[in-house]
Homo-oligomer: A and B are copies of this chain.
């Protein structure tokens, strides 16, 4: 299966690392993927119809910070051009989420890929958060997969779990602690740090984007809520229609009051049915010590699915790293390779 990696930041590089490790990992050896091109926003591109040397590409970007004309596979190519000119079966969309551009340019990449009957695996939430209905309709018409395990809870099984292991269940409601940045920040505020100090700690944990506003003000959480609502509960949400509370609204006084009651504050994401429609909300919630969400610290996260047959399931991941997220992408590639279309 020939793949285009669109984006080669931290997640993209870790995907490449895991693909390069296949000979040493029996479970992944079945993953017959040849990366024929890598495109980036501003760090150049590589293309080779016989498959790129991933170890070489990783060494190149580490040494030079980008791809240059010195590389034999260097190409002047953006993602759309690659989709239009190269022979490939799957787009792996790994560009960063843009809230300001409402999911673009990833939406255009995904749409172009589907129009050309390429399968899509995306770690970027934008296409599912802002264009779910039109893209899934297009994927269905074209007989293509549109998979997105890595958009929520990194590589922990959520979407593939529901599709593969909870068939026949109706998802009644979802909640969870799903944003690492605000969770690290709340932990620091709890220990008495100021907001700037807490942000520094989150930066050291590697969970802060160049502009931290999307995380702090709940946009990342709102995008995840929209994806969950649309993909698992038949909703028609966009992040703008999710009720948001910013972690900046958590004052030291509010934190102290919660602690005095033996409780912890967590930013809790919710997807719920109300009057025939599916709604979403992210807000600071005070949780007693015994609550399973109260124990979720640092970069860990948790999701709870209320279903009509199996009852309530909770899935948590402990201190994931980039390999966890990259695994979400690989598990979708394994699904595509097996012929899943959803």
Contacts and interface: CB of A to CB of B under 8 A. Distances in A.
Interface in A29-83: 30-31
A212 interface: no
A164 to B, nearest CB: 4
Nearest to A18: B309
Given A295-B291, A314-B315, A323-B309, A157 B168 contact: no
Contact of A168 (B311, B314, B318, B330): B330
A27 B161 CA distance: 15
B317 A310 contact: yes
A168 B324 contact: no
A324 B310 contact: yes
Contacts of A311: 317-321, 323-324
A151 to B, nearest CB: 15
A132 B46 CA distance: 49
Contacts of A170: 27
Nearest to A264: B290
A157 B324 CA distance: 19
Interface string A160-193: 1100111111100000000000000000000000
> Copies of this chain, how many?
2
Interface size class of A (residues with CB under 8 A): 35 or more
Nearest to A22: B168
A168 to B, nearest CB: 3
A342 to B, nearest CB: 14
Given A311-B318, A311-B321, A164 B160 contact: yes
A216 B313 CA distance: 26
A66 to B, nearest CB: 28
A316 interface: yes
Given A311-B318, A315-B314, A169 B290 contact: no
A292 B167 CA distance: 27
Nearest to A319: B311
A203 B315 CA distance: 29
Given A309-B18, A318-B314, A334 B167 contact: yes
Contacts of A317: 310-314
A27 B164 CA distance: 12
A315 B153 CA distance: 13
A86 interface: no
Contact of A156 (B155, B291, B310, B321): B310
Contacts of A302: 314
A136 interface: no
A25 interface: yes
A238 interface: no
A130 interface: no
Contacts of A291: 295
5 contacts: A27-B169, A156-B310, A157-B313, A160-B165, A166-B331
3 smallest beta-carbon distances between A and B, as pairs: A27-B168, A157-B165, A314-B316
